[in-house]
Amino acid sequence: MEYFLIILGAVLVNNFVLNRFLGICPLLGVAKSTETAFCMGLAVIFVMSIASVVTYIIYFYVLVNLGLEYLTTVSFILVIASLVQIVEMIVKKFTPSLYNALGVYLPLITTNCAVMGVALLNIDTGAEIVIDNVLKAFINGFASGAGFMIAIVLLAGIREKLERARIPAPFKGFPITLITASIMAMAFAAFGGII
């Protein structure tokens, strides 16, 4: 039940882009066609899952033991950035097909604040659902990525339709996208209170 709550919470209730407003930059930048949005979503799921596990281990087994909790943010940035680099190299070497699908997007999310956000929220002991083991951290990371993907693919689908719509000139492009995203955020707010 706890695991189910974590997944539901991360995907719908506390959706990273539409509820926590993290990772807005790729949401607006990449969501032009559903295809690229889907690839971007996959890359985010990938990075978030790995980053949650690694940062969780680093925080509870290294930083807490050394009493260096105040260095959390700095060391997470270091770890996540180099982790993505390493993963990119490994993927490039061993699975070229996966690299072709995700390759362009991996460096883009190196320092995505959504990835940073999931790492920091995993270690937040004051949260409603406390993440107290590595498996939960992994599930939370994966589900948060999935939530990101849902949001970005939905927005990309709407933007594809809007390309052909008759929009007043001042609203063309980013303004209408922001309005769309805000309406989507309001819709997702309806999930609040489920948990």
Partner 1 sequence: MNFIDILIGSAFLLFLGALLATLIVIISKKLAVEKNAQLEEIRNHLSGANCGACGFAGCDAFAEALYNKKITINDCPITSKQKKDEINIILGLSGENSQKSEKTYAIVHCNGGNACRDKFDYHGYGDCKTAELIAGGRKACYTGCLGQGTCVDKCPNYAIEVNDKGYSQVYREYCTSCGLCITNCPKSIIKRIRASAKVYCACSNHDKGKEVSSVCKNGCIACGICAKNCPEKAITIIDNLPVFDYDKCSGCGICVKKCPTHCIKEIDKIN
What residues make contact with partner 1 under the rule CB under 8 A? Answer: 66, 68, 70-71, 74-75, 78-79, 82, 85-86, 89-90, 92-93, 164, 166
Smaller CB distance to partner 1: residue 57 or 74? 74
Smallest gap, in angstroms, from Cβ of residue 173 to partner 1? 13
Smaller CB distance to partner 1: residue 89 or 186? 89
Element at 6 (helix H, strand E): helix 2-8
Smaller CB distance to partner 1: residue 5 or 103? 103
SS3 111: coil
Smallest gap, in angstroms, from Cβ of residue 132 to partner 1? 25
Smaller CB distance to partner 1: residue 18 or 30? 30
In 3D space, the residue among 94, 159, 164, 120 whose CA is nearest the CA of residue 20 turns out to be 120
SS3 65: helix
Question: 178 — phi, psi (to 5°)?
Answer: -65, -40
CA distance readout (Å), 126 to 75, 134, 156: 21, 17, 34
Smallest gap, in angstroms, from Cβ of residue 92 to partner 1? 6
Smallest gap, in angstroms, from Cβ of residue 1 to partner 1? 37
Smallest gap, in angstroms, from Cβ of residue 86 to partner 1? 6
Smaller CB distance to partner 1: residue 91 or 151? 91
CA distance readout (Å), 62 to 55, 56, 58, 72: 10, 10, 5, 10
